[in-house]
Chain A
Amino acid sequence: MSDNILTLRNIETYYGPILAIRGISLDVQKGKIVTILGANGAGKTTILKTISGAMVPQKGKIEFMGRELQKQNPDWVARKGIAHVPEGREVFPLLSVQENLLMGAYVRKDKKKVNEDLEVVYDYFRVLKERSKQKSGLLSGGEQQMLVLGRAMMARPKLMLLDEPSLGLSPLFVQDIFNIIKRLNTVQKMTMLLVEQNANMALQSSAYGYVLENGRIVMEDTCENLMASDDIKEFYMGIKEEGVRGKRRWKKRKTWR
């Protein structure tokens, strides 16, 4: 037995006639942060939506803690312990910050512990405590990102799916968000599948990484090795090294720029 909490095998998902991800296989180990890197349109969001049941794969198998997930509804998947933090800060705009957080705990039965967790979340995100009574639609983008992260924590999930949590945030907020992601992983032992375009931050926070291009996984390795790879440095981290190799090794380099 491995200690994989989530495995995907040969997943293919379509938008109508368009094949968005092709033959995706990946593993997430318990207690680890695993990252998927890829440019805009590579298929990162589609992978997460397929895991959480918002999209149904045409082919392949998804296994989460011994249960098959493909063909299940998103609410079922959520009840089994996967918290999906979608891209674009999907708050409930007319509910207060606190109501949003409590919605995160909607499926939990241990209502007493929920209140303790609320304090934990407020401890992670001080600004949310200050604004607990405000309508969440009035928060800034960075605050909303904190809210959706905190809301996912309230579910006490066994696995978090994070879709580009740093997108569109100012550098200061980006640093904050990644600090919190790391703290969640080390302190709460939270397992996470993190999707990012910000390769720098993602590789520094994660243990293992997959590189996605046009719906296919083109590379996978420990983040340490990925960070040392010239291709990753050049095309994802923006570090250009002098040398002959790494010029045109990937055919579609224009797509990752």
Chain B
Amino acid sequence: MEFLQVLITGLGQGCLYGLIALGFVLIYKATEIVNFAQGDLLMLGAFFAVTYIGILDLPYWLGFLLTIISMAVFGYLLDMLVIRSMIGESQLSIIILTISIGFILRAVAGGIWGSDILSLETPYSGEMANIEGLVIGQEYLVVIAGTIVLSVILFLFFKFSSLGIAMQASSQNQLAAYYMGVPVKRVFSLIWAISALVAAVAGTLMAPISLVDPQMGFIGIKAFAAAVIGGFGSLPGALIGGLIIGISEQLAGTYLPTGFQEITAYLIMFLVLTLRPKGLFAQIQQKKV
């Protein structure tokens, strides 16, 4: 029984890693930029959720919706106004830029919301699900369900909508996409919007479990490991990488001596990089720019 409980907690945690990793991979595939502020987008999303739902006292679902929309707009503008101007600069300067954006977001969040620890009340807070004698906090089940729903929506969007396919096309061959009449720059900004939206969902789902403070974005470091494990080019890979880390972490925390839980993510990343340098789900094709 304990094992199942650990498993579900790990799955929930892994979903959060997976969602952030998804954001890393989406942006990287399209623009070859590693957005080190991805975790801080989650943090910002969580603060938006706390503001709309906790402070402004809006109904949960309305607050959730507003959080998603606000963050999507934020992601779009971030690319349009800041990132796009760096096109053509070296990889290093762009990495420094995204790291700095993370710093700035943390500082701004601290300035606006203070360093008080906030938490998010939800309709399901504190409720326990009792499944055949197994007691689990609803929060984790909601995280898992939310991740499944979002993944299915994203899958359908990328597979069947013409905008989604155009996003894939722009990621695989930018110039050819231009020649098809795709406004590639706008499409890239939309990809940033989707990444920020996914981070916002993760942030809103995480807020009731963890505490909402400006440092919560550091979860992004483990999510980065998840993306690497997944091959940094595959969306399912990112999610699975997240699950692998989430579950192993919980198992390590329960069954191994203290201290192991914290390094599990990096140990696995190291192992995967040694045995399969391109990650577990490396894609066959080199992309053309």
Contacts and interface: CB of A to CB of B under 8 A. Distances in A.
A and B interact = yes
B285 A94 contact: yes
A90 B172 CA distance: 10
Contacts of A74: 175, 178-179
29 contacts: A53-B178, A54-B179, A73-B178, A74-B179, A75-B180, A75-B181, A75-B184, A78-B181, A83-B179, A86-B179, A90-B173, A90-B176, A92-B168, A92-B169, A92-B177, A93-B173, A93-B287, A94-B283, A94-B285, A99-B169, A103-B165, A103-B180, A104-B180, A106-B180, A106-B181, A106-B182, A107-B180, A137-B284, A155-B181
Nearest to B29: A94
Contacts of A54: 175, 178-179
Interface string A102-124: 11101100000000000000000
Contacts of B284: 137
A199 interface: no
Contact of A86 (B172, B176, B182): B176
A102 B165 contact: yes
B165 A78 contact: no
B183 interface: yes
Residue among A86, A92, A95, A151 with the highest chain B CB neighbour number at 10 A: A92
A106 B168 CA distance: 13
Interface string A123-145: 00000000000000100000000
Given A99-B165, A137-B285, A155 B172 contact: no
B268 interface: no
Interface residues of B, number: 22
A84 interface: yes
B237 to A, nearest CB: 13
Contacts of A53: 178
Interface string B147-191: 000000000000000100110110011011111111110000000
Residue among B175, B180, B182 with the highest chain A CB neighbour number at 10 A: B180
A165 to B, nearest CB: 14
Contacts of B162: 102, 106
Given A99-B165, A106-B166, A92 B176 contact: yes
Given A99-B165, A103-B166, A137-B285, A91 B181 contact: no
B246 to A, nearest CB: 28
Interface in B181-216: 181-184
Contacts of B181: 75, 78-79, 106-107, 155
A35 interface: no
B104 to A, nearest CB: 31
A52 interface: yes
Residue among B165, B176, B178 with the highest chain A CB neighbour number at 10 A: B176
Q: Which 8 A-B pairs have the closest CB atoms?
A: A78-B181, A107-B181, A74-B178, A90-B176, A93-B285, A92-B169, A84-B179, A92-B172
Interface string B101-130: 000000000000000000000000000000
A103 B169 contact: yes
